A and B are shown apart, each in its own frame.
Chain A
């Protein structure tokens, strides 16, 4: 139940997301319903002035529209309409005095409404044009600001989309006009009777309006072209900007260093002065806000740190007692012990900046310095913590990579040094920028930083961290493999060479990427390894979450494994979702870029001319699942509440439930498909293709499906019935789409195709009612009195509580055996399924009664077993009760009885003498007593 609740909650969330998407998609469409008074001068009367010279035939329909860079008002220079202009159309004599004035009035109304619509469109286009102009100016201003350009591009694209949808809104009116023009027909040619004035006027007006709409669309067209141009221009500018920053060449010379030295001295002075003045100012006037800000931010960080420590403490700290932590544990500790403190640190930095800013402690020249100092601290902290977690120099048991103790220490120092140098470079760069120092200073700093980092990388080639397989961690270690050390030297050297050649920007970029992207990649790798370790068979059960699930929901091993697989996959997804954007941001892409990519990836993926929307497909699947759940719920509700209470027959219940299931799933399918944006009319195509398939291979499946439906409607049997079809006999367990499951008495399940059950004859023991007849054969010797036997049998049957009184039990004297009379007791039971038990009871009763009455012998020696084939097949063969004649204890009496039997049987029996003799002989042979 809880699970269902959660599922519902999640689906509601997703639905609302999908809904929001739809809303976003729709907002682009302009609202058309508002009617505004016509404002533009673009009205019918004015049109006439712009018509081509009256009386002359204008160019035919092929005339291209004027290139529309002119504003809306110019739009009246519309293309020549398709039809022929009336020759001297204004001088039409008045005809048809009874012209429909009503029509004219309506047309007038329509004109006003249409004008309103067009003026609105024109307004929207004008707004879009203004917006474009504004954006163009902004782009011009922000030509060296990558972030702003990325955001502007998104806005320009939105405007372009809006322009198209604005022009689409005019389409219905254009269609109306075209339809009306077709109704009016062509103007009368020369020699034909002239038409009514009102018709001419309307045609003229419609043509004018058509021209106006075309002009508006033309304007939209040119605006759209402008927007695309602007958008492409932005992309080009950004590309140039990126390569300029990276590949800017500076002349490295001694003068430069000299200049930089002077600048550094100046900058130090300025920095100390402004910092001191700020500190004095803050200490004297803003002491309380500063301390409050610091206090609050420390509080925030502490809350975060303590909270996450509480939650994740086993994952952050090394467990000293754990002698040999598993790889998975080491991984998760490395991951969380980096992730949590970094997040806490980030929270501290963000909140302290936020509080200082909101308490007005910061001054405009100090703000960027503080911001960059905080950012550098967080990034440096992250890199160092990560290196520490992976290398774990103090505790070799928790080390993720196999390096020697000494090697781990040296590597940690190397990484820390590189991070420090790079961080300081950024910090000083930020300071120089905010203090307005000369560019040469930044260049020189970056130059020095790149060279230092290059040297550190080259030096790290000589570290000896690697270990052989069986060496202990405190062994001295071996050098890097050749390829690694050469790679390190080459990287370092290329950094130094690039810086020396003047490509300081590039060199600095690479140095930063080596440190930060490297750190993020290592983090990602650890994340992926964690996911892999979690999804390994049996691994999840050993984690804390696995143990909790096992305890809470009593999950089995298989269930836990499946949960582990899902958890592993979600870890992959989370790692990819979190770190890939981080790396992209590192490489200079902007948030706006990533957003638009994601949006495009989710809403439209183009393969050739086909567009697939992931969001649509997800929504479709979601709707299908919802429909399915609702169907199941309705099914259960109708079955359990309505039908159970109104005591509907079980078969009908089953049919209705199954029917609702089919209909519901079908509906859910259709809803899901249309929610996925799939045009249902395309299904006709699929159906056509399928019908071909049905003709060939699928006909069996289809015929079984249809037979299943017939079975549900006609109900020749229902679930639980005892049926016989051909050689198959048993209880119906399930009637499904293709086959019916029958369980035999030996509990073998037989799937019988529905079409067989429709085409062949099916016997049903329990169709209308469960009433059934059951027979017991009884044989006695001829010594007994038949009437007495029959009365006795009827009495015994009547005494049994389960034997029906109506129809009453009957006894038949069915055959004269060779030395036995055969009687058959026929009883009716209310439930044929209880027949076996009843027969059993009756046989016991008959045996006991015959014994008591002296009919049957109390001793087994005189009892002959005559197996009677059980007609139901429910029971195995059992010994039949055979009554022995009274007093048949002596051989003489029996012999006499036999003679008498033979004598009496002879005339009645229709068998020939010969056979009777044979049979007698054989019976004598078989009975040694005789």
Chain B
């Protein structure tokens, strides 16, 4: 199980929310490895459990949510067994996180400098003065002009893109081994998005860290990720390296996502939208969770939940089509037949 090449190993993670006496399984048996120095994307619609997965890694799941089971090994140590105090030493230090909402993710009553300094004072025992001068360096690193002035400003004096840069500065201040970026560019303008992604990519190479990039945007994935996990209804349905995923997607859901992307190399009449909705947590289908929306669904799909299976190219997919038990059309090719199957 343990592998030196992986900085993080999530194994069978289960995180649930307990509301009004009923359990909502937000993350249901997710296993995922993050190789050192690589960027792994987690893709899915909202409610697929991708953010809850990342919050579980940080052990920041709050009441009424709870991590029910599984393990999360970080450099060989299980984060789920650590005390809260030990976790505090890891957060912002070994594992950092940046969020979707740069406008609201910074504390409005403290200056930018104070907020970057705080993390340095906590984890590196720097004095106030040292922390502040390191903060200026960090602002410079993330490409903020005149950092000596900016460091004294309050968040409301900065634009959204600037604030996200500050968030990145906070996250990277202690040289983390793993950065979790939860939709870091979603709330930003398109031009700023590209800048922020470029910055993150550059810093990842420079600092040699691993990145988990959570997004619903396949365009961002194509540009930045080495590996991709596609999540659906609390589970990973496909895991592959980025080239395979884009060239040869296997899961009908992944194919559906791909086809909803506008393409330049094909004559497209319309963007395809996957019909239907993500199943509500309380109303999970008995079999494959995607079956109700899947154009290929056969008997077994509605009866039994498939496992995440290894494919011949070493990737993983959670779909009956690729198993010996498949009881539908034996000649089916998900990628090529998706459109025809869908129109039927």
Q: Do A and B interact with each other, yes or no?
A: no
